[in-house]
Amino acid sequence: MENMPKNYDAEAVEQRMLDKWLAGDYYRRNPGVGDCTVTIPPPNVTGKLHMGHALDDTIQDTIIRMNRMRGVSTRWILGTDHAGIATQTKVDKKLASEGISRREIGREKFVDACWDWTHEYGGHIVEQIKRMGCSIDFSDPHFTMDADYATAVRKVFCDWYHDGLIYRGKRIVNWCPHCTTAIADDEAEYKEEDGHLWYLRYPLVEPVDGQEYVVVATTRPETMLGDTGVAVSPKDHDKDKFVGAKVRLPIVDREIPIF
């Protein structure tokens, strides 16, 4: 009797099992009661899957398989290419390494370059999803901007919104000077930098208890030109005597109140 291998050999087992599952069409919608459909949040076409994708896909796979075991008609739809800004950044860097600018080649050729990137890396991502064992219906893939796919997603989101199941978040407020477009908070890269406090004297229009100015500390002195007032903390009672007085805004020479 042959001894069981000491270590698990994924290469020898997983591909063979995957081929068997796909050949048997086990992942297509199965007959049953009810209906369960999950559209996989399309991964960015920016390279390869990471641990976050693996965790998210595992949770979805668990939901799909659980419903299959309950006899519910199930289908997990494959989606590809999401987050065009992230993809654009990758293509930008690739073109730059070749000495090419998207602004020089124009929109049409740049879109072609994006499609080339999608075809190259989109295939890698789908193969990774397969090797993970995700029970997706690979016979009917969808692209983010496919008309029927986009329409279905919009309808579901609108239905959920009107049913009070989801809510609309804040507007996108970050501006990317490189991409020249607005991006979401989770797409902004933050980094800490050492700042510096500038101490500015704001002359009082009329002296208060013999004091002729107040000192304002700021990390951004350039914003002082737009000041419309000077605020003091209501907890700092040493500053109570200045409330109601006015200062003269330096450089601009405009009178503004202390409140």
User: Does CATH place domain 10-166 in 3.40.140.10?
Assistant: no
Measure CA of the first residue to CA of the last residue in the chain; give whole Å.
89
Q: Could you tell me where in the chain the CATH 3.40.50.620 domains are found? A: 10-166
CA distances (Å), origin 101, targets 98, 109, 112:
9, 11, 14
pLDDT digits 0-9 by tens, 157-174: 999 999 999 988 766 677
Note whether 129 and 57 are within 8 A (CB).
yes
Orientation of helix 107-131 relative to helix 84-97, angle to 10°: 110
- Reported for 20-24, long-range contacts at CB under 8 A and 24+ positions apart, including other chains, are 21/135, 22/130, 22/138
pLDDT attached to residue 66: 92
Q: Could you tell me where in the chain the CATH 3.90.740.10 domains are found? A: 198-257
- Strand, coil or helix: 142: strand
pLDDT attached to residue 80: 67
Note whether 141 and 126 are within 8 A (CB).
yes
pLDDT attached to residue 84: 67
- In this prediction, the residues of the chain whose per-residue pLDDT falls under 70 are 1, 41-47, 80-84, 122, 145, 170-172, 186-188
pLDDT attached to residue 119: 74
pLDDT attached to residue 172: 63
pLDDT attached to residue 204: 94
Note whether 254 and 248 are within 8 A (CB).
yes
Residues whose CB falls within 8 Å of the CB of residue 14, separated by 6 or more in sequence, listed in order: 131, 133
pLDDT attached to residue 45: 64
Q: Which CATH architecture fits 198-257?
A: Alpha-Beta Complex (3.90)
